[in-house]
Amino acid sequence: MRDWITECEGLTPDSTLDALEALREHLSELQIPQIVHGRRAMILFEGPQGSAKRHALRQLSASFDPCHFTVHSTGYDRREASEGHWLARFWRALPSAGNTSIFFRSWYRRVLDDRVLGRTDEAVLARTFDEINEFEAQQRDYGTLIVKLYFDVSPEVQERRLHERATDPWFAVAHRDKTVSVTDPAYRRALDDVKAHSNTRWSPWVMIDGSNADEAAVAALTAISEAWAKTMPAEPPRLVNSSGRAA
């Protein structure tokens, strides 16, 4: 495998694309032992609109074998109450052996956007965080790798990006979620609570500065690469002979 850490050190604007190429190649190699050993993984792309999540996701999607990952885009679900527990739809999206579930936004919407927009009752927040932590702990106990990426962005960059999107009629039609501004004090309080109550030992957050899209993608893919390299087996499985025994 290429020395991707060396290649990504000391980045300049001119070398960012080369770093992304090196990281994509490295991740494609790291996915092979995951598939062969049947390991499960989940990656969360969280953060406000305009924080470069989508750009980083495109880079990751160009790295992985598409037969072994699924992207779940999480929006506000008005039917949630009729389907039982609010985490039910995420249980149905858990990865099978050898595969990765990528959540573009996730169960954290309930304590971020939905909270800021008044859709989540403040009285249930403590219980909600408990349920989130228990849910993630159960996945880790079952051997699933969890990588949680939070993309933040400066107010100026978010405003510029959202303005650019608003002038694109195709984007405006395709993406109708209500916007949460990073300047909103309620958003900052919600983010502080997320950091305080869900940055656990078994499922820590990786904070990404999304103000520069390419640099954010490098940071995201680096975090994913490090998690994969640390967690996925480095050796191939032992060969099995015709009798069904390991050789």
Q: What pTM, to 2 d.p., does this model score?
A: 0.88
Q: Which two tokens stand for residue 199?
A: 């940055």
The verdict on residue 239 lying in a domain is no
Domain count for the chain, please give it. Answer: 1
The verdict on residue 94 lying in a domain is yes
Q: Which two tokens stand for residue 228?
A: 């994969």
Rounded to the nearest 10°, the torsion over CA 73, 222, 64, 25 is: 150
The verdict on residue 169 lying in a domain is yes
Interatomic CA distance for residues 193 and 184, integer angstroms: 15
The verdict on residue 244 lying in a domain is no
The verdict on residue 188 lying in a domain is yes
The verdict on residue 243 lying in a domain is no
What's the confidence (pLDDT) of residue 225? 98
Interatomic CA distance for residues 132 and 148, integer angstroms: 13
What's the confidence (pLDDT) of residue 83? 63
The verdict on residue 246 lying in a domain is no
- Residue range of the domain that includes 194: 4-231
Phi, psi of 145 (to 5 degrees): -75, 135
Q: How confident is the model at residue 238 (pLDDT cuts 50, 70, 90)?
A: confident
* CATH number of the domain residue 73 falls in: 3.40.50.300
Interatomic CA distance for residues 43 and 235, integer angstroms: 23
The verdict on residue 219 lying in a domain is yes
